[in-house]
Structure 1
Amino acid sequence: MAENMIIASNFIQNAIDEDLKNGKYSEGIHTRFPPEPNGYLHIGHAKSICLNFGLAKKNNGMCNLRFDDTNPTKEDVEYVDSIQDDVKWLGFTWDDRMFYASNYFDKLFECAMELIKAGKAYVCDLNAEQMRQYRGTLTEPGQDSPYRSRSIEENLDLFMRMQKGEFADGERVLRAKIDMAAPNINLRDPILYRISHTAHHRTGTTWCIYPMYDFAHPISDAVEGITHSICTLEFEDHRPLYDWLLESLGYDVAKRPRQIEFARLNITDTVMSKRKLRQLVEGGYVTGWDDPRMPTISGLRRRGYTPEAIRDFCDRIGVAKSNSLVDVAMLEHCVREDLNERADRIMAVLQPLKVVITNYPADECEYMMAENHPHKGGHRFVPFTREIYIEQEDFMEEAPKKFFRLKPGGEVRLKHAFIIKCEEVIKDTAGQIVELHCTYDVDTKSGSANSGRKVKGTLHWVSAKFAVPAEVHLYDYLLKTEENSVESTNFIDELNPNSLEIINTCMIEPSVAWTAPGTRYQFLRQGYFCVDKDSTKEHLVFNRIVGLRDSWAKAKKV
């Protein structure tokens, strides 16, 4: 389990403390993380994972991983596997407590039969549109279904025939018999079972009726001995149904699970709907669930985010009762802070401009000692030759007064190397700058006894002879602006057409000619980058994780 994940005091922990103080759940605290395997998990699920596993750890309890696999039309083993990988990558373990709602299909069927026998459930023949009409509105009560008065015997017979596959999809449903005039619409005879002649990824064709989430969830919690069922805020109105079902099935109020709701995570510039993320994948707007622009855990992992940074972010945002919007810059700040401590520094030039050092011997090469990390230490040697590359933006022919990079007649220090002076600008026939001719001051070698001469600018560079070409992916937010609503019907229209920029001109120092996918670096003056999973020795690919500019930290200081 994640050792540095700390759940700060919050209203859920306070509720747990109160329960323990009152002698409830004396056998220990037991939570669960219950994802539906119909897509990949995203950063919002990471908050729930950290919360549920973190609460269990803080209270010396246990947390189950339980797949809510009650809708076979949208579920797949691929998603089951990805969810397990994500939870493990975040640093948590469920030990031997991985369950599926499908484990309880027999039990759930028995519970449905028990409700029918108690006169608390009935088979209804209304179709979906008719059911909506009968349901009423927020201000008007619903109407009883004409099938609500069926006898217990008829309901038992029809439900058994539903289970045997005698009816078509949508022809009949099993509904709870509660109160069609209830102010809470969720209590107006909600559906408990529907017919779906769809093979299940675990049970095959054994079943052709499947329980609804609101029915399967509380019973699964009770069967597993869950003490605190932590849900997002949209389930607050479902809690009376949760409690009604457990009470109707005879679960002891002193021992049965307690549902508590917290605000889901909403982040600026970020699509936080699994349905919309699926739409992005299936519509080809991204390359897959693990596209580094995606807020999925697998996408963030591929981009180069660390589990430590995500856990830190989830801890910092805390647990609230009301919905709010978190600035994405805060997440990036957590990532940047973490990478600052762990990522080695290297030099890479994204848009090269050739520099010829005219007074440096053409056939000579010397190796400059460069530190790997300002805090962790370590060194490497970087080749220095007559021809090098600097960034195009680090030279300006007609520079303003406060431009402290290279300009005609100006001097800069090359990181880990010498001070150079621009003597001549070489242009092609179209007037475009193609290279610079410079001279170097031999007495200013970095680290030498005579290296004390100061200039205001320091540039990163790579040797033109030994540099390794690389492909670099720069990412922007998927949504155009933070004001865009991800709930917009036409959210595809709000996608940022410039969310990905591919640079094929990058030249990188040879110390990383081959490095394992997932390795993270700070490109000096550029940002933090990660070797992509598809990178090879023949074709290096780097994803930019975050830039160096920390707008969130700066804003907090103001």
Structure 2
Amino acid sequence: MEQEETKNFIETKIEADNRQQVYGERVHTRFPPEPNGYLHIGHAKSICLNFGIAQKYGGITNLRFDDTNPSKEDVEYVNSIKEDVRWLGFTWDDRMFYASDYFPALYAYAVKLIRAGKAYVDDLSGEEIHAYRGTFNEPGKESPYRNRSIEENVRLFAEMKEGKYGDGEKVLRAKIDMASPNLNMRDPVLYRILHAKHHRTGTTWCIYPMYDFAHPVSDAIERITHSICTLEFEAHRPLYNWVLEEWEDPEGQKPQQIEFARLNVTHMITSKRKLRALVENGIVSGWDDPRMPTISGIRRRGYTPAAIRDFCARIGVAKADSVVDIALLEYCIRQDLKYKAPRIMAVIDPIKVVITDYPEHKTEVLTADNNQENEAMGTRQITFSREVYIERQDFMEEPVKKFFRLAPGREVRLKYAYIIKCEDVIKDGDGNIIEIHCTHDPESKSGSGAHADRKVKGTLHWVNAADAVDIETRVYDYLTRDAAEDEGKDFMSQINPDSLQVYHSKAERYIQQFRAGDSFQFLRQGYFVMDPDTTPDHPVVNRTVGLRDTWAKMQKK
């Protein structure tokens, strides 16, 4: 018997609306980002939800830019958002809109509210409006300008539009209830004056609608059915509905707002303000720094769209805020790359090993698996000779307990090759180890030697020194030291100063076939991706995620 599909509360709501013919079985969602920064992992959840819900119910999704604050917006952000949505695997077809497309309609609707006695022009300053607003325990106080005549309000609003007043000199406010228990309903501001050049409309407008006004009207114009947004807008829903009371839909179908819990992930900052501060203060190299939780940052780090979609599906849609362990996200990435990323050998922090009893001018060609989890990926040829590189951490001159790698007098197997034994350690004048001298068992060659099955406790990856490729390896740790943000702290104090380590590494020559954006696994080290900084003479790789899977282990307990 097939297990019945579990539906989230939004899907349950949509199916109920369809049964009751609330929208004639139409499902029309939208993703409405502000073009004032780069999208982050939290937006990825919203993208997957809005586009995914519409796809599931045969509906459509609009991409709409909420470009109502020209002082913070830029075409750069518009382009990055479009790229992010496409990268995640979704398309808006010909349905890309801007709130600025509706500035004339928004203005006309604001005038309609004024004529209905539901909005007025206020001369109070921002500080005075805040002081008049009251508190959760005390009602607000009406503005002395609240009872202006309709004719005066229409004239003043027109003069605001014509540029007769300076920034902050006047605002348009909704006339609702200054004693409402919901502070958002205490005559909220609908329009403010802002003399700033808009990235699309230039200087045509000097008044701009507030989000709480532009959003519901834009939804109504586009005939959105389900306006899905994050939980912090729950208290704004009565205002959303109030704004649309006077709106006339051709079929009487007004959009409805539905809230879901935003995505919070341990060790990830999901505040645009804080992310902007990291960029502007030079803590990171830019919005696409691989340590950033921006979609462009995680893309550069090697996260895959399939893994992000899987992650969003696994965490589901909830009504209460929570924090998701980053281990689950990393698990999804490993699961996606496990069968499709080729596996090669690279030594991140190299130290040279000289096999003293191996012929000096001999080179062998060995066969290595491209991915042992996926035989269809086949094999490749690698070379082996007298000098190879191994990881510096794979050797210990005075080994601790349970250290099963190379040490004086000990044997290890070089993967696909021979068993070697450490005979001597060469140091420089400062006592630093510069070479390890070993001997090898010529009968222990993997797959063919008489001692090929001889067991030793350690197997190491390595790179042939003769044709090793020099690469720059960037190893990333979490950007924040604390798993969860402590809002009581200065967030800059939570930044991990060791979140990036750069190494001059050695890789097998097979790496030369990869291009920027290609993913692969370094044996025993983790999954990596070729960085856009790569040049033909200088490959640069970023570590996407390590191989240690804490999430999988947690699920087994």
What TM-score does the superposition give when structure 1 sets the normalisation length? 0.96
Number of the residue aligned with 1:519: 518
Gaps of 5+ in 2: none
The alignment's C-alpha RMSD in Å is 1.4
Q: Deviations over 1:199-219 (max 9, x none)?
A: 111111111101011001011
Q: 1:169, 1:195 within 8 Å by CA — same for their partners in 2? A: yes
Q: Give 3-state SS (helix, strand or coil) of 2:466's partner.
A: coil
Whole-angstrom CA distance in 1 between matches of 2:200 and 2:428: 67
Number of the residue aligned with 2:84: 86
Q: Deviations over 1:173-221 (max 9, x none)?
A: 0000001111101110000100011111111111110101100101110
Number of the residue aligned with 1:446: 446
Number of the residue aligned with 2:544: 545
Whole-angstrom CA distance in 1 between matches of 2:42 and 2:473: 28
Number of the residue aligned with 1:215: 213
Aligned residues: 550
Moved more, 317-326 or 249-258: 249-258
Number of the residue aligned with 2:141: 143
| Code of the aligned partner of 2:73 | E
Q: Give 3-state SS (helix, strand or coil) of 1:342's partner.
A: coil
Q: Deviations over 1:345-366 (max 9, x none)?
A: 1111112121111111101111
Q: 2:179, 2:186 within 8 Å by CA — same for their partners in 1? A: yes
Whole-angstrom CA distance in 1 between matches of 2:404 and 2:190: 70
Whole-angstrom CA distance in 2 between matches of 1:218 and 1:129: 26
Whole-angstrom CA distance in 1 between matches of 2:87 and 2:181: 43
Moved more, 450-459 or 80-89: 450-459
Whole-angstrom CA distance in 1 between matches of 2:102 and 2:513: 50
Structure 1 residue 425 displacement after superposition: 2.1
Whole-angstrom CA distance in 2 between matches of 1:229 and 1:443: 70
Structure 1 residue 8 displacement after superposition: 5.9
Q: 1:8, 1:315 within 8 Å by CA — same for their partners in 2? A: no
Structure 1 residue 88 displacement after superposition: 0.1
Whole-angstrom CA distance in 2 between matches of 1:198 and 1:428: 64
Structure 1 residue 381 displacement after superposition: 1.0
Percent identity of the aligned residues?
A: 63
Q: Output aligned runs, 1:98-137, within 5 Å.
A: 98-137=96-135
Alignment partner of 1:328 out of 326, 329, 339: 326
1:182 and 2:180 are equivalent in the alignment? yes
Q: Output aligned runs, 1:223-372, within 5 Å.
A: 223-251=221-249, 255-372=253-370
Whole-angstrom CA distance in 1 between matches of 2:274 and 2:425: 51
Q: 1:291 to 1:410 in 2, by over 3 A?
A: same
Q: 2:308, 2:329 within 8 Å by CA — same for their partners in 1? A: yes
Number of the residue aligned with 1:4: none
Structure 1 residue 333 displacement after superposition: 1.0
Number of the residue aligned with 1:3: none
Whole-angstrom CA distance in 2 between matches of 1:78 and 1:424: 58
Whole-angstrom CA distance in 2 between matches of 1:467 and 1:211: 60
Q: Give 3-state SS (helix, strand or coil) of 1:54's partner.
A: helix
Whole-angstrom CA distance in 2 between matches of 1:252 and 1:514: 58
What TM-score does the superposition give when structure 2 sets the normalisation length? 0.97
Q: 2:413, 2:420 within 8 Å by CA — same for their partners in 1? A: yes
Whole-angstrom CA distance in 1 between matches of 2:183 and 2:494: 33
Q: 1:519, 1:531 within 8 Å by CA — same for their partners in 2? A: yes
Structure 1 residue 428 displacement after superposition: 2.7
Q: Deviations over 1:417-464 (max 9, x none)?
A: 111122222223333322122111222211215322222211000111
Whole-angstrom CA distance in 2 between matches of 1:165 and 1:401: 78
Q: 2:338, 2:373 within 8 Å by CA — same for their partners in 1? A: no
| Code of the aligned partner of 2:458 | G
| Code of the aligned partner of 2:417 | A
Number of the residue aligned with 2:468: 467
| Code of the aligned partner of 1:9 | K
Q: 1:514, 1:536 within 8 Å by CA — same for their partners in 2? A: no
Q: 2:17, 2:25 within 8 Å by CA — same for their partners in 1? A: no
Q: Output aligned runs, 1:334-413, within 5 Å.
A: 334-377=332-375, 378-413=378-413
| Code of the aligned partner of 1:549 | R
Q: 2:88, 2:309 within 8 Å by CA — same for their partners in 1? A: yes
Q: Output aligned runs, 1:474-493, within 5 Å.
A: 474-485=475-486, 487-488=487-488, 490-493=490-493
Q: Give 3-state SS (helix, strand or coil) of 1:325's partner.
A: strand
Structure 1 residue 248 displacement after superposition: 2.8
